[in-house]
Amino acid sequence: MEKIGNIIESIAHEKGLKLTEAKEAVSTALIKTAKRVFVEENEYAVDIDEKTKELALLQKVLVVADDDERLEENIGEIEKFIDISSAKEVDPDIEIDDELTYAISLDDMGRTAAAVLYRELEYHIQRLMEQNIFERYRQRVGEAVSATVVRVDNDENTYLEYKEVKAILPMKSRIKGEKFKVGDVVRSVIRKVYIDKKVGMQVELSRTSPKFLEQLLKLQVPEINDELVIIHKSARIPGERAKIALSSVTPSVDAVGATVGTKGVRINAVSQELHGENIDCVEYSDIPELFVSRALSPAIISAVRVEGEKAIVTIPSDQKSKAIGKSGINIRLASMLTGFEIELVEVGGTTTSDGDKTTTTTESNADALKALFGDDDK
């Protein structure tokens, strides 16, 4: 196996692996082969000379005292220990508890060993490639991808192919009313990457996650992509309505205006991708009261008082329906966006004077999410 270093470099380049990883895979495969061909109980090591690029298979034994009881464990070809007297005949400077290594001729391994080595090497290189792919995609969680549909099962789960991996878009992560067929190119966001015991690595996609909305805006709005406009948070009821909190890092850029675009062209393009989902752009504020007030737009708020995790909002009676929205959708999204449980306190007319008032309390942010999506997709 002369110049095996060149072969390892070739494997690393071809498979897109780091050189150190390829060396480790080759070493592991060779040690596994030695254990199967020679003696499984013995200890082996691999040494690759960086200069000559030659490889050596070594057997390791531990140097012990002449009267050490562990010497009795050496039976037949099993050789784990060597007494100090015998070891000094090989290396006069060796000491007890040092390791002595013997070089094993690779030419003596034969054809059977070569076949075993090939299978072992193929297995370890494949596992290494899969691990690298897993780590690479795990770092991409939250990114938008466009993948091709290859199958739709009876439960309406959609299976897609994206580069070197297969992905799944579960029915629960699909916008209501969407239908896909084989050959469709579907845009979605990587929701999570995990290992399934039965099928191995799984990439799960989503079109209902708030992150998908954020990624679509990033693709559509250059100011967001260039980080001149910051997305602080978003909330969605998929396919119906969404709210997104924005701020600008420079006075020369209007965060909401840039995101909406001229005559709404940018926000409409995103809405179209989301099957007509209405998107409210809200200017973010680190002042909770102001943020809550803006989040309840288009309603005009009289006052906001924050008490812990609750925001008590005083609102004119003629603005109540706007604040709540159809089927409670506006106030629910505002709660999800701000993180506050919102309590509406209605006052007569448009004044804020004391008098008869009615109180309506929304679900808490967590409860609203559970009611909409279940515990799985927050």
- Name residue 324's amino acid: I
Alpha carbons 100 and 283: distance in angstroms, whole number: 71
Alpha carbons 190 and 301: distance in angstroms, whole number: 38
What local confidence, expressed as pLDDT, does residue 163 receive? 87
Angle at 266 between CA 256 and CA 328, to 5 degrees: 65
User: pTM for the whole thing?
Assistant: 0.70
355-374 burial, b for 16+ CB within 10 Å, e for fewer? eeeeebebbbbeebbeebbe
Alpha carbons 114 and 111: distance in angstroms, whole number: 5
Alpha carbons 99 and 59: distance in angstroms, whole number: 10
Q: How far is CA 34 from CA 40, 76, 106, 108, 194, in A?
A: 8, 17, 9, 11, 34
333-346 burial, b for 16+ CB within 10 Å, e for fewer? bbbbbbbbbbbbbb
What local confidence, expressed as pLDDT, does residue 90 receive? 84
Dihedral angle sign, alpha carbons of residues 9, 10, 13, 17: negative
* DSSP code, position 38: S
C-alpha of 298 from chain center: 36
Alpha carbons 316 and 179: distance in angstroms, whole number: 43
- Name residue 200's amino acid: G
* CB-CB contact of 278 with 242 (8 Å): yes
What local confidence, expressed as pLDDT, does residue 25 receive? 85
Q: How many CB atoms lie within 10 A of CB 287?
A: 12
Domains annotated for the chain, with CATH where assigned, are 4-136 (3.30.1480.10), 148-205 (2.40.50.140), 208-284 (3.30.300.20), 288-378 (3.30.300.20)
Containing H/E element for 45? strand 43-48
* CB-CB contact of 341 with 335 (8 Å): yes
What local confidence, expressed as pLDDT, does residue 160 receive? 95
Helix (H, G, I), strand (E, B) or coil at 168: strand
In this predicted model, what pLDDT tens digit does every residue of 18-73 receive, in sequence order?
A: 888 888 888 888 888 888 878 777 888 888 877 777 778 888 888 888 888 888 88
* CB-CB contact of 284 with 260 (8 Å): no
Q: Which two tokens stand for residue 233?
A: 């948070």
Q: How large is the angle between the packed helices 265-273 and 210-220, nearest 10 degrees?
A: 140
Closest CA to 298 of 261, 331, 266: 331
In this predicted model, what pLDDT tens digit does every residue of 76-127 receive, in sequence order?
A: 677 888 888 888 888 888 888 888 888 887 666 667 777 887 788 888 888 8
Alpha carbons 19 and 39: distance in angstroms, whole number: 29
Helix (H, G, I), strand (E, B) or coil at 352: coil
DSSP H helices, the chain, are 4-15, 19-37, 84-90, 110-138, 210-220, 222-225, 255-260, 265-273, 288-295, 320-324, 329-338, 365-373
Burial status of residue 204 (CB atoms within 10 A of its CB: 0-12, 13-18, 19 or more): middle
Give the residue ranges of the chain where pLDDT is below 50. Answer: 1-2, 349-378
